[in-house]
Amino acid sequence: MSEAVARRSPLRHLLQENKLTGVAVGLFGLLVLVALLAPSLVPHDPLATNAAHSVEPPSAQFWFGTDEVGRDVFSRTMVATQLDLGIALSAVAISFAIGSVLGAACGFFGGWLDRITARLVDTLMAFPLFLLAMAIISVLGNSTANVVYATALVNLPFYIRMARAEAAKLRGSGYIEAARLAGMGPAQLLTAHVYPNILPPIMVQISLNLGWAILNAAGLSFIGLGVRPPVAEWGIMVADGASLIVSGAWWVSLFPGVALMLTVLCFNLIGDGLRDVLDPRRVT
């Protein structure tokens, strides 16, 4: 039995152990497909307004109905996938790239670099995350790029801390000692032996973080920070429908809201599945 488990590839193991994770991976594939293809496939122009079709319920012509200025909710929801996924992926990529390298260096070398970074991390963590993101965007100005920077900066401390803790744990381990005795320099040790080995636990963090980053970006645009209307973005679309839902027009908010929810759920399920495989001690 244990031999069979050992021989299975990690991905197959992941999918067979937990059916839900398999579903989530499938959903992620679908999302990527939609993000890539939607702009050229949707039936209507996501930005085209049409006063004759204002706030119409779902129909054969408008599958998800229309919003207050007559834009097609289906086309907008699909097209927004690209922007929302893009924001989350780039924000997480930035915090991962900077955070893991800086954290690993801090944990491995220690010293003044570590002390200064620790102070900066503590200061960032003293703020409630979403409010810090709000403040940063109000300084930098409303734009999609600034949402990415703010989200990346707010997440940075988690990557630094995690990479630092893992690297500090590895520093004294036997195989590092052996490589050092074999004549490897510190920079080579860090890049060849420490950095690759801190990555698995960080992968889990990345997946869970992607979900959070999308929620964060959508929340910011919901309150009018960041992505600017009339661009199709899930948070803005939910906000567009907020005043209509009290009078019964549920479709304007519902479809982008559900898309947002499914995407976040997808990342969280993948993260849980990854954790079960990569870090069996923390299975809950």
Partner 1 sequence: MASASLWRYAARRVLLALPALAGVVVVTFVITRMLPGDPALYYAGQVDSFASVDEIRHRMGLDRPLPLQFVAYVDDLAHGDLGQSLSTGQPVGRELIQRLPASFELMASALSLALLIAVPLGVMAATRPGSWIDHACRLIGTAGVSLPTFFTGLLLIYVFYYVAGWAPAPVGRFPSFMRPPPSITGMILIDSLLAGDLDKFQAALGQIALPALTMALFALAPLTRMTRAAMLGVLSSDFVRQARANGAPRLHLLFVTALRNGLLPVVTTLGMIASSMLGANVLVERVFAWPGVGSYALDAMVSLDYAPLQGFVLVMSVVYVLINLGIDILYGVIDPRVRFEA
Please state, in angstroms and rounded to a whole number, the distance separating the CA atoms of residues 139 and 200.
35
**Phi and psi dihedrals of 247, rounded to 5?**
-105, 15
Residues 2-61 that bind partner 1 (CB under 8 A): none
Q: Under the criterion CB under 8 A, does residue 119 sit at the interface with partner 1?
A: yes
CA angle 38, 39, 42 (to 5 degrees): 65
* CB of 104 or CB of 154, closer to partner 1: 154
Please state, in angstroms and rounded to a whole number, the distance separating the CA atoms of residues 140 and 150.
9
* CB of 138 or CB of 191, closer to partner 1: 138
Q: Under the criterion CB under 8 A, does residue 189 sit at the interface with partner 1?
A: no
Please state, in angstroms and rounded to a whole number, the distance separating the CA atoms of residues 4 and 123.
48
Q: Under the criterion CB under 8 A, does residue 143 sit at the interface with partner 1?
A: no
**Phi and psi dihedrals of 43, rounded to 5?**
-70, -30
Nearest CA to 152 out of 106, 209, 84, 204 is that of: 209
DSSP calls for 178-230: HHHHTT--HHHHIIIIIHHHHHHHHHHHHHHHHHHHHHHHHHHHHTT-SSPTT
Residues 217-256 that bind partner 1 (CB under 8 A): 218-219, 222-225, 235, 238-239, 241-242, 245-248, 250, 253-254
Q: Under the criterion CB under 8 A, does residue 257 sit at the interface with partner 1?
A: yes
Of 7-15, 185-193, 199-207, 266-274: span binding partner 1 (CB under 8 A)? 266-274
**Phi and psi dihedrals of 72, rounded to 5?**
-75, 115
Amino acid at 86: G
Of 65-73, 88-96, 124-132, 165-173: span binding partner 1 (CB under 8 A)? 124-132
Smallest gap from Cβ 207 to partner 1, in A, equals 12
Residues 81/35, Cβ–Cβ less than 8 Å: yes
Smallest gap from Cβ 238 to partner 1, in A, equals 5
Length of the chain: 284
Q: Is 67 helix (H, G, I), strand (E, B) or coil?
A: coil
Smallest gap from Cβ 52 to partner 1, in A, equals 26
Q: Which of 134, 152, 170, 236 touches partner 1 (CB under 8 A)?
A: 134
Of 1-9, 27-35, 133-141, 161-169: span binding partner 1 (CB under 8 A)? 133-141
Q: Is 66 helix (H, G, I), strand (E, B) or coil?
A: strand
Q: Which of 30, 116, 145, 261 touches partner 1 (CB under 8 A)?
A: 261
Q: Which of 27, 132, 165, 189 touches partner 1 (CB under 8 A)?
A: 132
Smallest gap from Cβ 214 to partner 1, in A, equals 9
Nearest CA to 164 out of 95, 104, 96, 101 is that of: 104
Which of the 8 DSSP states describes residue 226? S
Smallest gap from Cβ 204 to partner 1, in A, equals 14
Q: Which residues are near partner 1 by CB under 8 A?
A: 119, 122-123, 126-132, 134-136, 138-139, 141, 211, 215, 218-219, 222-225, 235, 238-239, 241-242, 245-248, 250, 253-254, 257, 260-261, 264-265, 268-269, 272, 284
